[in-house]
Structure 1
Amino acid sequence: MLACGNCNSVKSDKPIVLSDFFWPDKDNTALAFEYSTGAVISPSPVLSPKQKQMAENTIKLTGLDRIPSSDPLINPEAKDRRWRERRTAYDKAEHSKVRLSTCNTIEMREQIVETATSTGFFSIWMTVFKNDIDMMTRFINAFPGTSANCYDASCSPVSRGAL
């Protein structure tokens, strides 16, 4: 399995060369991709040209570059709602960060983790809270399947695999 069911279904059974892509089970994709406001995913600007191409290949293969339109003539993949779901998660993370700045308690931090894990999109929460080591540590520990060895003590992503 590549990743989530949606990414796998978009990938389908297209023939691929494994070494042309980043894979979440062997690569620390936190180093490969950047999430910007609006939950847009792009290759990280610090990648080498070869790594950038691998990141672009991965984004295209999984359909993470799709942004839905309500007009099927403009975007026939409008049924792909992942962008809207990422955007909703990004907005929730941003709102949570603002709330934390006005009510910085253990209980608020725990509530944010509960919201994050029920919403999903680990990478978005890590992006929004990138300057809060405590929150990032909480996310790393709370999201099932997250490999703690992909992060150093300051919660910065560390290389594994092709990165």
Structure 2
Amino acid sequence: MRPVDKGSSPCASFSEYGDAKPYLLERLGNYCSYCEIHIALNANIAVEHMEAKAYKPNLKREWSNFLISCTMCNSMKSAKDGRPLGHEKGPRDFDKNLYLWPDEHDTWNAFRYLKDGRVIVNPNLAWQDRVSARRTRCLFKLNRTENEDSDNRFQLREQVNRTARHYLAKYEAALKIGYPVSELFELIYDIAKRDGFWSVWMTVFADHEDMCRKLINGFKGTNKAYFAQKLGGTKGADS
């Protein structure tokens, strides 16, 4: 999950929370903050309230409470919503502090992206961080494989992983024979921008610092603070 920095609020207040959408897109790009899917600009992009306006109306128009979400991640979160089991119509008890948020935590280090499309929790995290990461993954149902309600996030992630590995093989083959790779390098970056799933590309190209640097710097809003010491030894790709 790409850690992001959306910066300070662009204005003193918003009349409606929807007014924040163009600013969020300008600063973060049109990618879901949670599953990282690329969201077409003419699609229904949601201004995501990390703490839902239904039970935190005072945060309804607060910039600090906004991220960008695809409609599927938004609905997965809304369906769960932190309600106690068996009290679907009861009061909401969502505790934001139990989860990891890409604009507050190092969510890149919290997860690992496998080539079969699964997202797993980094086993090297401290125990409480592992618990929070698992809660976050479940909150958005990132490993939901059933293609229900047009939910193809898992399938698209797996597909992008295959695409990334295909181009990794081409890139490494070109490097091996000393073939100029500048055009291929830019092509790979353009495909990553088009397809989304930043963490998949970062994982697959983990051994190539130049590409990792391009992905970190090229995707709007990536929080570079988490990568200042990592670019020279970015974590390896999962097998």
**Fold shared by both chains (TM-score > 0.5):** yes
Equivalent position to 2:77, from 4, 11, 33: 11
- The residue number in structure 2 matching 1:146 is 222
> Any idea what SS the aligned residue of 1:47 has?
coil
Q: Does 1:58 align with 2:58?
A: no
3-state SS of 1:65 partner: coil
1:102 aligns with 2:173: yes
Deviations 1:133-162 (A, max 9, x none): 0000011111122122220254267xxxxx
Say yes or no: does 1:38 pair with 2:116.
yes
Contact 1:140 1:148 in 2 (8 A): yes
Aligned length: 150
Q: Which runs of 4+ in 1 moved over 6 A?
A: none
- Structure 2 gaps, min length 5: 1-47, 51-67, 83-93, 176-180, 235-239
Q: Does 1:93 align with 2:159?
A: no
Partner of 1:23: 101
Matched AA of 2:77: K
Q: C-alpha distance in 1, partners of 2:149/2:126?
A: 32
Which letter does structure 2 place at the counterpart of 1:9?
S
Q: Among residues 4, 28, 47, which one is paired with 2:125 in the alignment?
A: 47
* SS of structure 1 residue aligned to 2:108: coil
Q: Helix, strand or coil: the match of 1:83?
A: helix
1:127 lines up with 2:203 in the alignment? yes
Aligned amino acid, residue 76 of structure 2 = V
Q: Tell me how large the CA RMSD over aligned residues is.
A: 1.7
How many Å apart are 1:103 and its aligned residue?
Answer: 2.3
Tell me: CA distance 1:4–1:154, structure 2 relative to 1, closer, same or farther (3 Å).
Answer: same
CA distance in 1, matches of 2:206, 2:228: 13
Q: Does 1:136 align with 2:212?
A: yes
Percent identical residues: 29
Calculate the TM-score normalised by the size of structure 1. Answer: 0.85
